[in-house]
Amino acid sequence: MTAATASAAALALAGCGGSDDAAGGSGAGLTVVAGFYPLEWAAQRVGGDRLDVSSLTPPGAEAHDLELAPQDVAAVAEADLLVYLEGFQPALDEVATTEAAATAWDAGQAADLTLTAEEHGHEGETAEEHAEHAGEEPAGDGEALDPHFWLDPVRLASVGDALAERLAEADPDGAAGYEQNAAALRADLEALDAEIQAGLAGCAVDTLVTGHEAFGYLADRYGLEVVGISGLSPSQEPDPAQLAEITALVRERGVTTVYTETLVDPAVAETVATEAGVRTAVLDPVEGLTDESAGSDYLEVMRANLATLQEGQSCS
């Protein structure tokens, strides 16, 4: 079974997204394919029963490493809308500009991707390439655009608003419902944002050491400085000199916790923690859900992340 069909089947069994109910009755029955979990979740929240939503990245798979079988490409080509993030999943970028050129919607434009990080061999879009595409000023040499916007709830809310507008173009009869659903999504995300702001307001340690550069938008939103052991792609391993440098930084700044991640091998982060004599804890970049996730959806996992950060950063 391919990634797209496996995810669609799982959603149908779980009652998520639109199903036969969406195709009949008052539902529009639009078929939406999302690149990975946060986009899938946002589409489900905004679309409600009018959409049949599936993800190309199945539960438990690393979103960065998505590969598409011919059946997956066909599913994308047949969908009414492809919701993806340009530069995050290279296998999907080419399909988005060929087979799905008329139906692809890039969430990155609504998310306003502004942060960069050291490239470390990231396989996605460089900041210079994105800037040229968007008419912006490029970033400095050796830097790449950070795509992990959804860890800032307010940026994800903006994506929900823009997605409602895009869905209304495809399904004008559902426009009012999409707008209402996006407003409800924004209210939930702004409430989450307020909780995180309050919870991280008084932290003794403001340096966040993580497995890879996935938490830049979270750190930027809540006044932390993130240090990723690997680059923007978790598959890129640092060299011994980089590990030694980060280990020294952990000691110098009084960092007490190095964060491993779900869906990523913890070995490199555990090496830094062991060398520095500190503990590890799991911080979820919410790129996908598994049976090990500390929650059943984005909101629950982010609240679990907040509790982890409050302990790991010594927040009062």
- End-to-end CA separation in angstroms for the chain: 48
Which pLDDT score, from 0 to 100, does residue 118 have? 63
Number of alpha carbons in the 13 Å side-chain half-sphere of residue 251: 10
Which pLDDT score, from 0 to 100, does residue 258 have? 97
Which pLDDT score, from 0 to 100, does residue 253 have? 96
Which pLDDT score, from 0 to 100, does residue 162 have? 98
Phi and psi at 254, nearest 5°, equal 70, 25
Please enumerate in sequence order all residues whose Cβ is within 8 A of that of 226, keeping only pairs 6 or more positions apart, or say none. Answer: 207, 208, 209, 210, 213, 215, 216, 218, 219
pLDDT tens digits for range 63-94: 988 999 999 999 999 999 999 999 999 999 99
Matching residue, tokens 């060299």: 239
Which pLDDT score, from 0 to 100, does residue 89 have? 93
* Alpha helices, H only, the chain: 3-14, 20-23, 37-47, 70-78, 90-97, 107-111, 127-134, 153-170, 175-199, 216-222, 240-252, 267-276, 298-312
Q: Report the C-alpha gap between 47 and 170 in whole angstroms.
A: 12
Answering whether pTM is above 0.85, one says no
Which pLDDT score, from 0 to 100, does residue 28 have? 60
Distances (CA, A) of 251 to 101, 106, 168, 207: 50, 41, 52, 11
Tokens for 225, please give them: 């400085």
Q: Report the C-alpha gap between 131 and 133 in whole angstroms.
A: 5
H-helix or E-strand containing 143? strand 143-145
Q: Which residues of the chain have pLDDT under 50?
A: 1-27, 120-141
Question: How many residues in total does the chain contain?
Answer: 316
From the number of C-beta atoms within 10 Å of its C-beta (0-12, 13-18, 19+), residue 141 rates as: exposed
From the number of C-beta atoms within 10 Å of its C-beta (0-12, 13-18, 19+), residue 194 rates as: exposed
Q: Report the C-alpha gap between 238 and 103 in whole angstroms.
A: 38
Please enumerate in sequence order all residues whose Cβ is within 8 A of that of 9, keeping only pairs 6 or more positions apart, or say none. Answer: 1
